[in-house]
Amino acid sequence: MPIITGLEKKTIVITGGANGIGRATAQSFAAENARVIIVDINPDALSKTKLALDKLGYEIETYTLDVSNSEAVEACFSSIKERFKSIDVLVNNAGILKDRSLLKMSYDEWDAVINVNLKGVFNCGKVAAAIMVEQGSGVILNASSVVGLYGNYGQSNYVATKSGVIGMTKVWARELGSKGIRVNAVAPGFISTDILKDMPDDILQKLAAKAPLKRLGTPEDVANAYVFLASDQATFITGTTLSVDGGVIT
């Protein structure tokens, strides 16, 4: 039964929605009786996620999309708008990692992360915003990270994108607020996803120890933040970055 108001039958588009935080976010919005569309570059992962959520009784629509390709984003979002008549919430969740220290990072590794994590957010935000302006309402939620606030060793490219997302969020909130559109960012801390699965247990324990709550976050912790920020309970919140990090200490 839905517990958050204002989301029933709303059209929610989640990028990078086939795995991890994106998948948990899709399930959380579906539980609120929202119309959920997940887009992802990996068609096999999309199929598996759709099958799994269908088995739970959730009807999820899927589209294969490379968010770094602006023309593909325009075509995909136009198709979604034509079919479902609106895009009420965009969750800009798609992102990649290619970690390496500054002196070892290649130009290709820099470009790859910038293209997905920053340009991809811009591409999707720009197209979704145009649709929302026409509607007179909408919510855009951008995935940042705790490292975008505090930095992290070996992540010049990733940190640059996540800091940039915070900046874009503030700008978009100023530009779009008068048009009925709210824009916020979520900054997860250390979350138990596939990105961490290959890390040794002692390293994971150290990561958990950095947070006063003494645990790693779950994808559902982040998904809950997205659902709240999209809901009617958050109608006076815009231009902010919500940290979901267990109070992590840098």
Catalytic annotation, residues: 158
Contact residues for 126 (Cβ-Cβ < 8 A; gap 6+): none
Render the burial of 170-190: b for 16+ CB within 10 Å, e for the rest.
bebbeebeeeebbbbbbbbbb
Cα dist from 111 to 8, 68, 173, 176, whole Å: 39, 11, 27, 28
CA distance 98 to 91: 22
Q: 63: which DSSP letter? A: E
> If DSSP states are collapsed to H, E and C, what string results for 194-226?
HHHCCCCHHHHHHHHHCCCCCCCECHHHHHHHH
What 3-state class would DSSP assign to 188?
strand
32, 96 contact by CB (below 8 A): no
Structure tokens that stand for 131 in this block: 């649709």
71, 127 contact by CB (below 8 A): no
159, 151 contact by CB (below 8 A): yes
Paired residues of 37 in beta bridges: 13, 61
